[in-house]
Amino acid sequence: TEASSSNVNFSLLTNVTKNGTLTEQLSSKHIHQVLIPICYLLVCAVGLSGNLLVIYVVLRYAKMKTVTNIYILNLAIADVLFMLGLPFLATQNAISYWPFGSFLCRLVMTVDGINQFTSIFCLTVMSMDRYLAVVHPIKSTKWRRPRVAKLISITVWAFSFLVMLPVIIFSDVQEDFHTCNMNWPEPVNIWSAAFIIYTSVLGFFGPLLVICLCYLLIVIKVKSSGIRVGSTRRRRSERKVTRMVVIIVVVFVFCWLPFYVINIVNLIFILPEDPVYFFVVVLSYANSCANPILYGFLSDNFKQSFQKVLCLRKGNGIEDGDPIEHRQENSSRLQESMLTQRNIEFNGHMQTSKV
């Protein structure tokens, strides 16, 4: 069906009724074959360039190699991999069938799913990192290091791959519609419903619950501590990082919540194929190109790095060998060694993780 080919990312709207006037059908076909591919290609162009820029500045400048930015780097890598698959999806929508064969179908579907799960898992880890930085600033110093963040990131990718095993096994070119989608065994309805619940819980609502809990505990800590925790400069730095992560999470939820709601509602009754559905699909994909824009607006260091790479500003102080990250790490180690257990439990200064 048109709906199934409009989104290979876990859409189960493959039993859409074809009732309606000829005008409605032609309008839907126009949206499906022209507007959606154009939107996909625009998202691909913006997302690919923006996320490649993020990857470059994090790898290029020493100042950008903070714990939070390592998770941001993994978000960008996932989005770049996903962007590489969008031209294939745009082609499928334009010609209404999948011409690239079974292997590429499975590959694109898998990368699509891994991007989605890696993104929400990275946001969950980032939120937990914010919780540790604000609520347990001293006790968490040995865990909140770039090396640990890299190991956690590898674990996130591995877990995302394991979660995507059903996609690797069951994705293929559908014989009836010649589109790339999930080919479930009998009973198809049971398998489809189970997969929707599986992906919704593991890939969205479960992690979202953890994220909300982290920020609830942060709010409780901030309100109970007042202005006593840490120096003014460090509090301001932590507050900026936390605000950026919160906004990234909110934008992710805004882009993906309608998609999951539609799929869950579709378990109860079949939704009609209309422009609203296509808008929800494009909105979920557009999240992949929104993050680099958010970094540029919310992080001074990202903004300065972007300007330097794009030659929009000179002499911003972000150099290849900038030792700030090393000074912060050495400072936290010295502080950790000098503080007594009594001071640790009293919650001393916050560790700075400026983005």
pLDDT tens per residue, range 241-272: 888 888 999 999 999 999 999 889 888 877 76
* Whether this model's pTM surpasses 0.85: no
pLDDT confidence of residue 154: 96
Helix residue ranges per DSSP H, 171-274: 188-200, 206-225, 232-268
Q: Is the pLDDT of residue 79 over 80?
A: yes
pLDDT confidence of residue 174: 86
pLDDT confidence of residue 13: 39
In angstroms, rounded to a whole number, what is the distance separating the alpha carbons of residues 109 and 132?
35
pLDDT confidence of residue 323: 38
pLDDT confidence of residue 164: 92
Question: Could you tell me the end-to-end alpha-carbon distance of the chain, in angstroms, rounded to an integer?
Answer: 45
Q: Which of 206, 211, 242, 231 is nearest to 67 (CA)?
A: 242
pLDDT confidence of residue 233: 64
Average pLDDT taken over every residue of the chain: 78
pLDDT confidence of residue 322: 38
Multiple choice CATH, 2-11+21-318, 3.20.20.70, 2.160.10.10, 1.20.1070.10, 1.10.240.10: 1.20.1070.10
Q: Is the pLDDT of residue 14 over 50?
A: no
